[in-house]
Structure 1
Amino acid sequence: MFIPNTSFEVLEDAKLDDISLPAFMVSTIRGFLPRMDPIVTLPQEFDPVEDLLQSMPVLTHSGRPGFLASGRLGDEVEKLPDLTEEIEKYHNNLPMMNALYRDYSFLASAYLLEPCHMRFIKGEPTGFKPFMEYAGSCLSGWGANIYYNALFNYRLENPDRGLEYDNLRLIRAFEHGLDPSSSEAGFVLVHVDMVKNSGPIIAGTMSALSALHDRNGAEPAVQRETFNDGLRTVLGAMRKVNGVMETMWGKSKPRSYTSFRTFIFGITSQSMFPDGVVYEGINDGKPMSFRGESGANDSMIPLMDNLLQIQMPETPLTEILQDFREYRPSNHRQFLVEIKHCSEDLGVKDFALGIDSYRLARTDEEKESVLESRRLWIKLLDQVRDFRWRHWCFAREYILKQTSHPTATGGSPIVTWLPNQLQAVMEEMVEIYGNIGGQSGPAYLGEECRSIMDLVSRQRDMLRKEVDKYCQERGVSARG
């Protein structure tokens, strides 16, 4: 299946046995999850890496303290043999290369941030200090796409049960994550549980776009209903994603998050890496900076942004959002670009809101079909708002109330960055609802949409007050 007017293929068969394809490819079956379940154990020639990773966590699978519990990991990493030639043997096995990337990235992140962790456990929880010695770190090839490592970091306890939450386990962990009941495991596995619902989001998106692409010769009523069916599929899946997201509160506790969060920080805009990091033998010895793990690396909400044509303000905060889009697998990145162009080229937003279609409708049935498109559009925007509002609530409870460190793991300003996108969605909803006359009269969209917009009005005011409060407390500009 191809995105209309493009050569980009969305897989309808995950092609589980094809190792020549990247592990991360967009599909209607697996969504944004890897095409197959991740590789759990590295080949025998990587036993030194495997052994070190199993001995690394603060609490190992055996229940004994690991190297990170005592600050010994750095010394052990220095003993690792150079396995570059062994890695090259697998350059045609792309899922294996993903597993190797995952595991070396875990080591690199733990190696760089171990000193911060040691300060944290010694009683310095309110902020990080610069570690200038990081400039001499002898590492190679570490990117910051740890979010997708998280999606390649689960195994199934019982393969027959599939992706049920209580059947998921972590492959690698920094702190206590090998215990499935730990907050670290909960943090990662809830993300996996969310993304497993992304297949129908993609399928519904493709259906809606195809309905408009095939408009020539199609009966308008049939086209409109096919389009609406696609939006309904996306809406149902987004509701599931947000429902799973809500379970984070019970599966990863705010007070526990701060400790293992240390290891998912990146290098960009972080006080502990004021001059970046030099990777020996890379980039002519010049420092480099990468962003760390962030929910902004996820592809589901950017897909919604692009399909729904949500306009972001032209601010430095939005520039950070654009930068995050580089930290995705190339297939996902290209998919999002093509969806944006396709949605704009086909006039998806104009068709959904149907100003002319409603005015020219000849029957009550045709008018009702347009009103249904509008309702679905508002409800989809509301799911994006709901996701971003909850993300902001997480940031408030898990981070702002726990630490004074000014930047998030990905390097964005912790107080103002999420509200930048959240406010944009709510402004879009208010503008659309007013322009289409959805609040009353013949184009009234009903009580559910009215309740949604009442909530938006309250949350806009609440968000402004909260951001102003935290900015004043921390001495930062509310305008980012």
Structure 2
Amino acid sequence: MAALVIPLSSTLQSFPHIHDDPATLPPSLDPFTITNSTGFLPYRTSPTLLPEAFKSLASLLDRLPVVKDDGSQGLLATYELGPTVLADLPDLSEEVDKLVTTDNKPDLFTVTALFRDYTFLASAYLLEPCWENWCKHPGGGYGLGRDTLPKSIAGPIYRCAQLSVPQTLPFFPGAILNPSHRLDLPPFMSYAASYCLFNYTLDRPSKGLHYANLRLVRAFERGLDPKSSEAGFVLTHVEMVKETAPLVSGAVKILDALEQGGTRCEVNDGFREILNAMGKIEDHMEDMWKHSKPADYLSFRVFIFGITSQSMFPNGVVYESINDDKPLYFRGESGANDSIIPLLDHLLQIPMPNTPLTKILHEFRAYRPLPHRQFLAHVASKAEQLGVKDFSVRDKETVVLYLKVLDHVRSFRWRHWLFAREYIIRRSPHPTATGGSPIITWLPNQLSAVMDLMVSIYETYLSTDSEVVSTSDGTPAQQDASVFAVYEKQLVSMMEQVQDQREKLAREVEKWCKERDM
């Protein structure tokens, strides 16, 4: 009798390392290769030391912070970084190509560390005049940044960001890329590969991945002090993302069950796995208030702005010897580039309004690591193909779990709005966020979308006024009183909160827009 052959799921076919032990993965892989044990974190912590050929870069980064690791003033404290870069840093572009593994493949792990470090230096160099203006003229705005990035930074950062095959990028007009590297990132500071997720190490590796053991690799303002608000801002994000492994495995479980004819129980288990992960993620997110003080944020925020849709760079930035010396425009570092909520947006098939604000949401995709983009695109495609939302609303228990996951998307985005309001809007008249999105209206665009969907799902399938829900075969059935005896009080409280926040959000956006003549 022939053995039963079960075809591989499309997820495993597309992401062959998803079940691998991260310790077995070679440095030739993108550090953000996704596994179901590391989630959206890199599969190992980032290097803290650069190859010997880049000692001049390492020296500059050690001297760069406003307050260095030893407590003395750094180059940004005295506004001397720019001249020092021009005097001390050679163009090491060709050295990037020499970073190969023992089997002669590009060492993407080390290349990503260089990408992180060159993007740190690029941002500090371009925004140093804004930092000086902000320090010397409080309340006077940022002024203008430098509009030219010297070849000694532009060349290597461009080389690190290159693709695996020669092609033209929409954000890199006319640029033909060298086929020897595969990061596929815009050559500017990003959330994952630069400022946050590839910018931590462990104080004592044996103690594991928990907040008190996390340390920064690079910083702008207070050196490597783990008690600084800048460290708190970065490391709180790391603490959140460390919980994403079950988020990934839960999504894969749901898609695989639908694709391979699995049971509804498997789908429900996938949703429960996601719910458990999101509870932990949001608990860590709430810790931002104590790890990174609102009054401190605007200071180091100066260095994470982008160079598009920003008053500091009205004409973009020329990367010397790149793109025929025509100006380039890139969005800045932003927590909105994290992959947690986009994963759930795609899996739950949350419809976004057709607005210019949603267009910015789509533009942010290019700034995520390539493995993240590929995985999110896969989830979006499979959720649409398999009908995750339609399947979920056909069963009384599944639709409750689906709504609960939606509520985590809502509460996560609501917290993000509160952070924006308390850390930025109340403290600065600057109209744009670091990523170049409108600071007041952009987050409410997405938050309103998920709340609208929650109301629609609840009123159609779960409210006490609803006469029917659907069974697993899609046919109408009377509500099961036993199911709603368990969930009714919880659901009613949840939806009351949604209605309250919808009204409060609308009032706040109207208030802030009116005060700023928007």
Q: Deviations over 1:268-318 (max 9, x none)?
A: 100010010000111111100001111111011000000000000000000
Is it true that 1:86 corresponds to 2:95 in the alignment?
Answer: yes
Instruction: Determine the structure 2 residue equivalent to 1:12.
Output: 19
**Does the C-alpha gap of structure 1 residues 37 and 147 become closer, same or farther in structure 2, counting only changes over 3 Å?**
closer
**Does the C-alpha gap of structure 1 residues 204 and 10 become closer, same or farther in structure 2, counting only changes over 3 Å?**
farther
**Does the C-alpha gap of structure 1 residues 309 and 5 become closer, same or farther in structure 2, counting only changes over 3 Å?**
farther
Is it true that 1:316 corresponds to 2:343 in the alignment?
Answer: no
Instruction: Determine the structure 2 residue equivalent to 1:292.
Output: 332
Assess if the C-alpha contact under 8 Å between 1:3 and 1:206 holds in 2. Answer: no
Assess if the C-alpha contact under 8 Å between 1:306 and 1:343 holds in 2. Answer: yes
**Does the C-alpha gap of structure 1 residues 373 and 243 become closer, same or farther in structure 2, counting only changes over 3 Å?**
same
Q: Deviations over 1:380-415 (max 9, x none)?
A: 000000110000000000000111000000000000
Is it true that 1:384 corresponds to 2:409 in the alignment?
Answer: yes
Question: Normalising by the residue count of structure 2, what TM-score does the alignment of the two structures yield?
Answer: 0.85
- SS of the residue aligned with 2:318? coil
Question: Normalising by the residue count of structure 1, what TM-score does the alignment of the two structures yield?
Answer: 0.92
Find 1:99's aligned residue among 103, 113, 124. 113
Is it true that 1:145 corresponds to 2:190 in the alignment?
Answer: yes
Deviation at 1:4, TM superposition (A): 4.6
Instruction: Determine the structure 2 residue equivalent to 1:111.
Output: 125
Instruction: Determine the structure 2 residue equivalent to 1:273.
Output: 313
Instruction: Determine the structure 2 residue equivalent to 1:208.
Output: 254
Return the alpha-carbon distance in structure 2 between the equivalents of residues 207 and 469 of structure 1: 44
Instruction: Determine the structure 2 residue equivalent to 1:194.
Output: 240
- Among the aligned pairs, what percent are the same residue? 50
Deviation at 1:209, TM superposition (A): 1.1
**Does the C-alpha gap of structure 1 residues 347 and 44 become closer, same or farther in structure 2, counting only changes over 3 Å?**
same
Assess if the C-alpha contact under 8 Å between 1:5 and 1:342 holds in 2. Answer: no
Deviation at 1:17, TM superposition (A): 4.7
Is it true that 1:397 corresponds to 2:422 in the alignment?
Answer: yes
Q: Deviations over 1:216-259 (max 9, x none)?
A: xx5xxxx0111100110011001111110000000101110000
Deviation at 1:143, TM superposition (A): 2.2
Is it true that 1:453 corresponds to 2:495 in the alignment?
Answer: yes
Instruction: Determine the structure 2 residue equivalent to 1:359.
Output: none
- SS of the residue aligned with 2:14? coil
Is it true that 1:124 corresponds to 2:142 in the alignment?
Answer: no
Q: Deviations over 1:136-159 (max 9, x none)?
A: 654412324244312010010000
Return the alpha-carbon distance in structure 1 between the equivalents of residues 214 and 317 of structure 2: 34
Assess if the C-alpha contact under 8 Å between 2:126 and 2:149 holds in 1. Answer: no
Assess if the C-alpha contact under 8 Å between 1:254 and 1:398 holds in 2. Answer: yes
Q: Deviations over 1:330-356 (max 9, x none)?
A: 1110111110110111111111110xx
Assess if the C-alpha contact under 8 Å between 2:275 and 2:405 holds in 1. Answer: yes
Return the alpha-carbon distance in structure 2 between the equivalents of residues 5 and 183 of structure 1: 40
Assess if the C-alpha contact under 8 Å between 2:116 and 2:189 holds in 1. Answer: no
- SS of the residue aligned with 1:281? coil
Deviation at 1:208, TM superposition (A): 1.1
Is it true that 1:36 corresponds to 2:36 in the alignment?
Answer: no
**Does the C-alpha gap of structure 1 residues 52 and 2 become closer, same or farther in structure 2, counting only changes over 3 Å?**
farther
Is it true that 1:134 corresponds to 2:173 in the alignment?
Answer: no
Q: Which runs of 5+ in 2 are unaligned?
A: 1-7, 101-105, 159-186, 468-478
Assess if the C-alpha contact under 8 Å between 1:38 and 1:154 holds in 2. Answer: yes
Assess if the C-alpha contact under 8 Å between 1:3 and 1:9 holds in 2. Answer: no
- SS of the residue aligned with 1:325? helix
**Does the C-alpha gap of structure 1 residues 459 and 10 become closer, same or farther in structure 2, counting only changes over 3 Å?**
farther
Return the alpha-carbon distance in structure 1 between the equivalents of residues 463 and 41 of structure 2: 37
Residue identity opposite 1:44 in structure 2: E
Return the alpha-carbon distance in structure 1 between the equivalents of residues 203 and 292 of structure 2: 20
Assess if the C-alpha contact under 8 Å between 1:177 and 1:183 holds in 2. Answer: no
Instruction: Determine the structure 2 residue equivalent to 1:358.
Output: none
Q: Deviations over 1:416-471 (max 9, x none)?
A: 00000000000000011111133356254421111111100000000000000000
Return the alpha-carbon distance in structure 2 between the equivalents of residues 439 and 458 of structure 1: 19
Q: Which runs of 5+ in 1 are unaligned?
A: 355-369
Deviation at 1:10, TM superposition (A): 5.3
Assess if the C-alpha contact under 8 Å between 2:122 and 2:149 holds in 1. Answer: no
Find 2:220's aligned residue among 162, 174, 180. 174
Is it true that 1:329 corresponds to 2:329 in the alignment?
Answer: no
Find 1:72's aligned residue among 80, 90, 112. 80
**Does the C-alpha gap of structure 1 residues 10 and 322 become closer, same or farther in structure 2, counting only changes over 3 Å?**
farther
Assess if the C-alpha contact under 8 Å between 1:16 and 1:35 holds in 2. Answer: no
Is it true that 1:27 corresponds to 2:35 in the alignment?
Answer: yes
Runs of 4 or more, structure 1, over 6 Å off, are none
Which region of structure 1 is more displaced relative to structure 2, 101-110 or 6-15? 6-15
Return the alpha-carbon distance in structure 2 between the equivalents of residues 214 and 239 of structure 1: 29
Instruction: Determine the structure 2 residue equivalent to 1:53.
Output: 61
Return the alpha-carbon distance in structure 1 between the equivalents of residues 415 and 200 of structure 2: 24
Deviation at 1:88, TM superposition (A): 1.5
Residue identity opposite 2:435 in structure 1: G
Instruction: Determine the structure 2 residue equivalent to 1:373.
Output: 398
Return the alpha-carbon distance in structure 1 between the equivalents of residues 11 and 332 of structure 2: 34
Is it true that 1:410 corresponds to 2:423 in the alignment?
Answer: no
Deviation at 1:161, TM superposition (A): 1.1
Deviation at 1:20, TM superposition (A): 1.3
Residue identity opposite 2:495 in structure 1: M
Return the alpha-carbon distance in structure 2 between the equivalents of residues 335 and 153 of structure 1: 22
